[in-house]
């Protein structure tokens, strides 16, 4: 079942920037801290953590990692400097283009790393050497997945900092270009605050696609993995349109559309383009439901990876 049909009211929910609204974000912050501590414990207390640390080091040393990071930062600066001629809405355009840039480059790193770190190690018999040690196949797959996510976090850290700083200064830059008074500090912080939920949803979308890519990599080579992930990404953003009432008239077509929307991830759930365009703030409850969906789908995808890799011949 599509989350967009389960929680239609959440897609339109907004929240004002207020002291009460800030307090509502405390549970989200605590959850992030707990996840960070769990990630550290996983890396240094489990056998799969050994694989995860090695995968992260391998990923950040790839030329693709540094290239995507540099490309993202350059595009963010270009978005900051170049006018969009959007009749005073340049800040919103910077947010939208910046989130899209981070999503595309982050997905490229995730899928590329999954292909090289999983598929090529299986094809090159490196995985067989690792599995000859006291590490089973499930630990191997889980370690690879967590390692790739950690590489994405290292990629996002400098890029997000640059993105938020540019948004902060873009507000005053546009005011100066339009011969207006300098905006107050609170207005700049509000613009930065409004985009933070989008970064969280962006990470969830990358986590889902990474799980899918790892599952595919256990059986298929790099080229097929990249192509399949691209197709899933496109269809995943269209699943909401595919099942809208009244759009599809044939019962068989409706059934197939709902089947595809159920099997493939509903990536449009993580899209906040509408919220950015209207200047609304995505509420914590929406982030919570999105996180639950992300965790469930990632778990299902990794479970499928366990099944596909369990009887894979490595000899």
Position 4 pLDDT exceeds 50: no
- Determine how many CB atoms are found less than 10 A away from the CB of residue 35: 11
Spell 264-276 as b/e; 16+ CB within 10 A means b: bbbbbbbbbeebb
3-state secondary structure of 48: helix
Rg (CA), the chain: 21
Token pair for 128: 């067989």
Position 6 pLDDT exceeds 50: no
Going 29 to 203 to 201 to 304, the CA torsion angle's sign is: negative
Contact 163, 102 (CB under 8 A): yes
Task: Please identify which residue in the block is written with the tokens 């889902």.
Answer: 208
Q: Which domain holds residue 180?
A: 3-310
Going 82 to 85 to 91 to 93, the CA torsion angle's sign is: negative
Q: For residue 254, tell me if it sits in a domain.
A: yes
For residue 300, name the pLDDT band (cuts at 50, 70, 90). Answer: very high
Q: Average pLDDT of the chain? A: 79
H helices of the chain, where?
3-6, 8-11, 19-23, 26-45, 47-60, 63-81, 90-114, 120-123, 126-131, 137-177, 185-217, 222-236, 239-242, 251-263, 273-278, 284-310
Q: For residue 163, tell me if it sits in a domain.
A: yes
Number of domains in the chain: 1
For residue 69, name the pLDDT band (cuts at 50, 70, 90). Answer: very high
| 308-312: long-range pairs with CB below 8 Å, 24+ | 308/215, 308/218, 308/219, 309/137, 309/140, 309/141, 309/218, 309/219, 310/137, 312/122, 312/137, 312/218, 312/219
Nearest C-alpha neighbor of 304 from the set 230, 214, 205: 214
Position 248 pLDDT exceeds 60: no
Residues 152-168 pLDDT 10s: 999 999 999 999 998 88
Position 123 pLDDT exceeds 60: yes
Specify the pLDDT at position 2. 41
Contact 101, 212 (CB under 8 A): no
Q: For residue 315, tell me if it sits in a domain.
A: no
Q: What would the mean pLDDT of 274-294 be, rounded to a whole number?
A: 81
Angle 185-217/222-236 helices, nearest 10 degrees?
A: 130
Specify the pLDDT at position 18. 46
Residues 182-193 pLDDT 10s: 677 777 788 888
CB-neighbour burial class of residue 238 (10 A; exposed 0-12, middle 13-18, buried 19+): middle
Nearest C-alpha neighbor of 204 from the set 305, 281, 272: 272
């Amino acid at each position: 079942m599509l989350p967009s049909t389960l929680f239609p009211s959440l897609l339109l929910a907004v929240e004002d920037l207020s002291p009460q609204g800030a307090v509502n974000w405390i549970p989200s912050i605590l959850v992030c801290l707990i996840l960070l501590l769990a990630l550290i414990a996983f890396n240094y207390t489990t056998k799969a953590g050994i694989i995860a640390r090695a995968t992260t080091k391998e990923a950040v040393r790839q030329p693709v990692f540094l290239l995507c990071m540099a490309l993202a930062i350059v595009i963010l600066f270009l978005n900051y400097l170049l006018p969009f001629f959007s009749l005073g809405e340049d800040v919103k355009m910077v947010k939208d283009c910046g989130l899209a840039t981070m999503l595309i480059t982050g997905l490229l790193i995730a899928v590329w790393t999954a292909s090289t770190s999983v598929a090529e190690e299986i094809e090159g018999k490196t995985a067989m050497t690792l599995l000859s040690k006291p590490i089973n196949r499930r630990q191997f797959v889980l370690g690879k997945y967590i390692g790739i996510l950690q590489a994405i976090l290292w990629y996002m850290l400098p890029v997000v900092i640059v993105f938020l700083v540019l948004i902060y200064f873009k507000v005053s830059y546009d005011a100066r270009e339009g011969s207006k008074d300098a905006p107050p500090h609170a207005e700049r912080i509000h613009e930065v605050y409004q985009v933070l939920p989008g970064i969280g949803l962006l990470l969830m979308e990358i986590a889902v696609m990474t799980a899918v890519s790892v599952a595919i990599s256990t059986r298929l080579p790099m080229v097929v993995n990249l192509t399949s992930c691209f197709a899933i990404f496109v269809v995943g953003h269209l699943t909401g349109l595919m099942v809208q009432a009244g759009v599809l008239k044939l019962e068989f077509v409706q059934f197939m559309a709902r089947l595809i929307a159920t099997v493939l991830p509903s990536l449009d759930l993580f899209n906040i383009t509408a919220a950015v365009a209207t200047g609304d703030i995505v509420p914590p409850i929406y982030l919570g439901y999105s996180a639950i969906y992300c965790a469930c789908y990632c778990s299902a995808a990794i479970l499928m990876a366990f099944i596909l890799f369990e009887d894979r011949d490595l000899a």
